[in-house]
Chains A and B, each alone.
Chain A
Amino acid sequence: MTASPEFQVIIFKSVHHALRAEKILKEIGIPHKLIPVPRHISSDCGVCLRFPAGEREHVEQALAGKFDIDEIRPLENQG
Chain B
Amino acid sequence: METIIDCRGLTCPQPVILTKNALNDQDKVTVIVDNDPAMQNVRRLATKMGCQLQMEKKEDGTYHIRISRSAAAGKSAETAPAAADAPLIIAVSSDRMGRGSDELGDVLIRSYIHTILELDPLPDTMIFYNTGVKLAVRDSAVLDDLKELEAAGVSIIVCGTCLNYFGLTDSIAAGVVSNMYEIASTMASAGRLVTP
A residues touching B (Cβ–Cβ < 8 Å)? 1-2, 15, 18-19, 33-36, 46-47
Known contacts A2-B148, A19-B103, A34-B141; A46 and B111 CB within 8 A of each other:
yes
Flag if A34 contacts B110 (CB, 8 Å): yes
> A35 — which chain B residues lie within 8 A by C-beta?
110-111, 114
Binding site of A, secondary structure by majority: helix, strand, loop or mixed?
mixed
> Which A residues are in CB contact (< 8 Å) with B107?
15, 18-19, 34, 47
CB < 8 Å neighbour of A36 from B103, B115, B144, B148: B115
Interface residues on B, range: 10 to 19
B103 CB contacts on chain A under 8 angstroms: 19
User: By DSSP majority rule, is chain B's interface helix, strand, loop, or mixed?
Assistant: helix
B77-118 CB contact bits vs A (8 Å, 1 = yes)?
000000000000000000000000001100100110011011
Besides A15-B107, A18-B107, A33-B114, 7 other A-B contacts (C-beta < 8 A): A1-B117, A1-B118, A19-B107, A33-B141, A34-B111, A35-B110, A47-B111
Cα of A2 to Cα of B120 in the assembled complex, Å: 13
By beta carbon, the residue of chain A nearest B117 is A2
Known contacts A15-B104, A19-B103, A2 near B114 by CB under 8 Å:
yes
Query: Cα distance A35–B112 when bound, in Å?
Result: 9
Q: Which residues of B contact A (CB under 8 A)?
A: 103-104, 107, 110-111, 114-115, 117-118, 141, 144, 148
Alpha-carbon distance A18/B104, docked complex (angstroms): 11
User: From A3, which residue of chain B is reached at the shortest CB distance?
Assistant: B118
Q: How far is the CB of A29 from chain B (nearest CB, A)?
A: 15
- A62 to nearest B CB, angstroms? 19
Cα A36 to Cα B144 in complex, Å, equals: 15
Question: A36 contacts which chain B residues (CB < 8 A)?
Answer: 111, 114-115
**Is there contact, CB below 8 Å, between B118 and A2?**
yes
**Residue from B107, B141, B148 having most chain A Cβ neighbours under 10 A:** B107
Report chain B residues within 8 Å CB of A15: 104, 107
For B115, the chain A residues whose CB sits under 8 A away are 36
CB distance from A78 to the nearest CB of B (A): 10
**Roughly how many angstroms separate A27 CA and B118 CA in the complex, as a whole number?**
30
* Min CB gap B103→A, angstroms: 7
In the bound complex, how far is the Cα of B117 from the Cα of A1, in angstroms?
8
Q: List 13 A-B contacts (CB under 8 A).
A: A1-B117, A2-B148, A19-B103, A19-B107, A33-B114, A33-B144, A34-B110, A34-B111, A34-B141, A36-B114, A36-B115, A47-B107, A47-B111
